[in-house]
Amino acid sequence: MIVACYIPEPMGADEFDHPAWAACQPVQIEHYWSGEPAPASRHAEARVCWSDEALHVRFVGAQHEPLIVSENPVTTEKTLGLWDRDVCEIFVAPDAARPERYFEFEAAPTGEWVDLGLVVRPGGRETDWDFKSGMMAAAKVEAESLKIGIRIPWGSAIPKPEQGDEWRANVFRCVGPEAADRYLAWRPTRTPEPNYHVPEAFGVLRFD
C-alpha cells in the first residue's frame, strides 16, 4: 500500500528537501516488471503526499549509469514518447472500482513530462493524448542519485480525495539503454513482455 500523508500547505514540484517528505512512507521500486529483482544500482523509491491543492510525488533513485535523455528537452508542453528514455512514472485510478480507467504521469531527469488519460478495454487500450492535467515536474541530478518531483493539481479528472479514500495506483522507473531489463515497477505486472498498463496489478493508494 502507498500511504499519502496530508500536508496543510502545498509545495512545488522542485521542493525535494521539503520537511514533509520525511513523514511520508517510502515505496520501494526494486524489481523489474517481470518480478525479477533489479540490482541496487537501479533501485528507486517514491513518496506521495497530498494537499488541498494537489497530489505531490517525489522519486529518489540511484544513478550509476549514463542518463538516457533528450539532447533538446522541451518542458513547456508534454513530450510524447518520453517512456522510451529514462523516466519515473505514477499511474492513478481515482475510482478504485474501475481501475481500468486511470491516468499516467511521467517525468524525466531533464524536467520533461507527459500526462495521459487511459482506458483498458478487452479489445485494447484507448489513450487520450490531449489530456491536460496541469501537472508540473522538476528534476535534480546529483553525483550518484536522481530526484524527480511531480505535482498534479486536483480537477475534474483527478478529484480532490477525502481523508480515508483509497485509489488504485502503481509507480515505475525506466532506466538505462533500450532493453527489457530497463523497466522497474513497485508492483510487477508479470507480463510476457514489458508492459506497465496492467490495472489488475495496481496496488492501493490511501489518503491519510
Rounded to an integer, what distance in angstroms lies between the CA atom of residue 41 and that of residue 145? 10
Look up residue 39 and give its three cell numbers. Answer: 540490482
- pLDDT value of position 163: 97
Q: In the chain, count of helices (H) and strands (E)?
A: 0, 14
**Model pLDDT for residues 113-168, shown as the tens digit of each residue:** 999 999 999 999 999 999 999 999 999 999 899 999 999 999 999 999 999 999 99
SS3 assignment, position 42: helix
Say if CB 117 and CB 131 are below 8 A apart: yes
**DSSP letter for each residue of 96-164:** TT-TTEEEEEEE-TTS-EEEEEEEEETTEEEEETT-----EEEEEE-SSEEEEEEEEE--SSSPPPPTT
Write out pLDDT tens, residues 59-100. Answer: 999 999 999 999 999 999 999 999 999 999 999 999 999 999
Q: What is the pLDDT of residue 119?
A: 98
In sequence order, the β-bridge partners of residue 101 are: 119
Sorted by where each starts, the structural domains of the chain and their CATH numbers stand as: 2-8+25-207 (2.60.40.1190)
Q: What is the pTM of this model?
A: 0.97
